[in-house]
Structure 1
Amino acid sequence: MNTLLDEYYRYDLHNAGFIERKFTIGEENTLIYGISQSGKSSLLKNYLLSHKKPTYLYLDCRDIRLNIEELNNTLPQFCRENKISILALDNYHESIRLFEIEQILLTSEVLLELPFSALQLPLLDYEEFLAFESKFDSTALNHFFQLGGFPAMHRIPSEERVLYLQSTLQRALDPIEFSILSQASKMVTQKVSAFNLYERLKSERKISKDKLYLHLESMYKRGYLKSLSKYNHPSAVKKLYLCDIAIKHALVLQKHFGRLFENLIFSELDKHGIECYYDEGIDFFLPQRQQIIIASPFANEHALFKKVEALEAFIVSNRVREVIVVTMNLESTLSHPVSRIEMIPFERWALSEGEE
């Protein structure tokens, strides 16, 4: 095991083309967690490369040459002998025993119960995405719809992106979870219960309810799937969203631009940690801002007035200050007796959320 550790210790880390994220690692013990290909390893390596090489040891815990029992017996002594102050365990699993050292950095798909600073790394929001673009022009939003928030998609040739994402998800997920994700991709933005998914999947494969519920809970916990509760009705059926719209492009041929657009707006709200709910006729209600957000890529004023009229009771009873209609490129402010209606292009809306 010393031979393998020495091999890793001598490696020159490479992190070519790293682009700064909104997230940084401090000097404390830190767990970086998030779904596969969210950029955890790149963030970790960028931090290590800012330190002198002899001071850190980087290990990828997926390496099949690592014998866990031997590693647990050997690693503390190896770090002491080489005066290593930073231990970085990429793709960490809990069978690896941790010990006292100046700083430990871990990456994982899930939040682990450790007395560490926890850094959840989401996929790129629109503002971060723009930093990955070679040039900022009118094509940027279209690229965002095509590529989504996976950082690696920018360096993958266009004809390989779908297969790349498919293989990434197949490696990261259990076969049942991959089937769940494929089925969920057909049901984005709809009210979907675990039983609904079970009914869809049981015709494709043999699966018990208990097993499906267990895997579904894991996918929500790890962040591959997202849900949205109904306002003031926590037991009502939740709306289903994907962590990234690129997944729908990769797994199903079915297209529905309106649903993709709504999922995109949800993702921006989710990445910025903004509390929101749905209600009948309302895509997103933000109680702390007293704001309703409607996803309407190709809105027209007449239809909006009719929609807001149907929501008057909700607007009055919940003291809604404004209705924000996120569009593709339409921009306008409308006067309405019960609430201000503002039509904002997605690009401007998403960048203003990034400044909050």
Structure 2
Amino acid sequence: MNTLLDEYYRYDLHNVGFIERKHALNDESTLVYGIAQSGKTALIKSYLLGHKKSTYLYLDCRDIRLDVDELNRSLSQFCRDNKISILALDNYNDTIHLFEMNQIILSSETPLELPYRTIHLELLDYEEFLAFETKFDGTSLSNFFQLGGFPAMHRIASEDRVLYLQRVLSRALEPIEFSILSQASKMVTQKVSAFNLYERLKGERKISKDKLYLHLQSMFERGYLKQLSKFNHPSAVKKLYLCDIAIKHALALQKHFGRVFENLVFSELDKHHVECYYDEGIDFYLPQRGVIILASPFANEHALFKKVEALEGFIVSNRVREVIAVTMNLESTLSHPISRIEMIPFERWALGDDT
């Protein structure tokens, strides 16, 4: 095992083209968690490359050459012998024993019960996405719709992106989870229960309800799938969303721009940790702000006014102060007797204070 550790210790790390994220490591022991390809490894390597090479050891715990029992017996002594002050365990699993070090950095798909600083590294929001853009010619929003929030997608040739993401997901997920995600890609923004998914999947493969529910819950906990509750009805069927619209492009042939757009709006709210719910005729209700958000890419003033009229009961009873229709490019303010109505282009909304 010392031979392998010495090999890692002598490696020259590379992190070509790293672009700063909203999160950064400092000198605290830290757990960075997030789904596959969210940028955890790049964030860790960027931090390590700011230190003298002899002071850190980086290990990728997915390396099949690593024998956990042998690693647990030798790692602590190896670090002491080489005066290593920073230990980075990428793709960490809790069978590997931790010990006292000046600093330990871990990455994982899930949060872990550890007395460390925690960073939840999510996929790129629109503001971060713009930092990855090489051209500023008005195509950024169109690119965001195509590439989504996976940082690596900017480096993948356009003709390879679908297969690349399929490979990433098939490696990161168990076969049943990949099937769940594929089915979910066809049902985004719809009210979907675990039983609905089971009914869809049982025709494709042999699976028990209990096993499906267990894997589905894991995918929600890890962040591959998201769900939205109905306002004041926590037991009602929840709406289903993907963590990123690029997954729909990669796993489903059906094109439904309205649903993709709604998922995109949801993702921005989710990444900014905005409390929101759905209701009948309402895409997103933000009770703490008294705001309704409608994902309406091609709305016109007349249709929007009629839609708001149908929501007057909800608006009055919940004292909604503003209705925001997020559009592709239309911008307007409508006069309404009981609530302010604004049409705001996605690009301005995502970069403004409304998210």
Q: TM-score, normalised by structure 1?
A: 0.99
Percent sequence identity over aligned pairs: 80
SS in 2 for 1:88: strand
Q: Distance in 1 between matches of 2:136 and 2:57?
A: 38
Q: Does 1:77 align with 2:74?
A: no
Q: Which residue of 1 aligns with 2:241?
A: 241
Provide the secondary structure at the position in 2 that maps to 1:135: coil
- CA root-mean-square deviation: 0.8
**Cross-structure match for 2:127:** 127
Matches within 5 A, 1:75-224: 75-224=75-224
1:40 — aligned with what? 40
Describe the SS at the equivalent of 1:320. Answer: coil
Which residue does 1:276 correspond to in 2? 276
Equivalent residue runs for 1:43-62 within 5 Å: 43-62=43-62
2 CA distance for matches of 1:203 and 1:2?
50
**Helix, strand or coil at the partner of 1:12:** coil
Q: Matches of 1:273 and 1:193 in 2, distance apart? A: 23
How big is the shift at 1:113? 1.2
Partners in 2 of 1:337 and 1:303 — Cα distance?
Answer: 17
2:11 alignment partner AA: Y
The offset of 1:215, in angstroms, is 0.4
Q: Is the 8 A contact 1:334 1:340 kept in 2?
A: yes
Q: Separation in 1 of the partners of 2:127 and 2:294?
A: 21
Tell me the distance in 2 between the aligned counterparts of 1:352 and 1:335: 22
Moved over 2 A (4+): none
Correspondence for 1:65: 65
Counterpart AA for 1:41: T
Structural mapping, 1:255-266, within 5 Å:
255-266=255-266
Secondary structure of residue in 2 paired with 1:298: coil
Secondary structure of 2:35's counterpart equals: coil
Deviations along 1:306-339, whole A, 9 cap, x unmatched?
1101111111111111000000000000010110
| Alpha-carbon distance between aligned partners in 2 of 1:279 and 1:55, rounded to the nearest angstrom | 54
Tell me, yes or no, if structure 1 residue 285 matches structure 2 residue 285: yes
Q: Distance in 1 between matches of 2:120 and 2:137?
A: 30
DSSP-derived class of the 1:87 partner: strand
State the Cα deviation string for residues 208-251 of structure 1 (Å, max 9, x = none).
Answer: 00000000000000000000000111111000000000000000
Amino acid corresponding to residue 85 of structure 2 in structure 1: S
Question: What is the distance in 2 between the residues matched to 1:290 and 1:302?
Answer: 23
Contact 1:272-1:353 at 8 Å conserved across structures: no
Q: Which TM-score applies when normalising by structure 2?
A: 0.99
What is the rounded CA distance, in whole Å, between the counterparts of 1:315 and 1:54 in structure 2?
A: 62
Q: Cα distance, 1:137 vs. partner?
A: 2.5
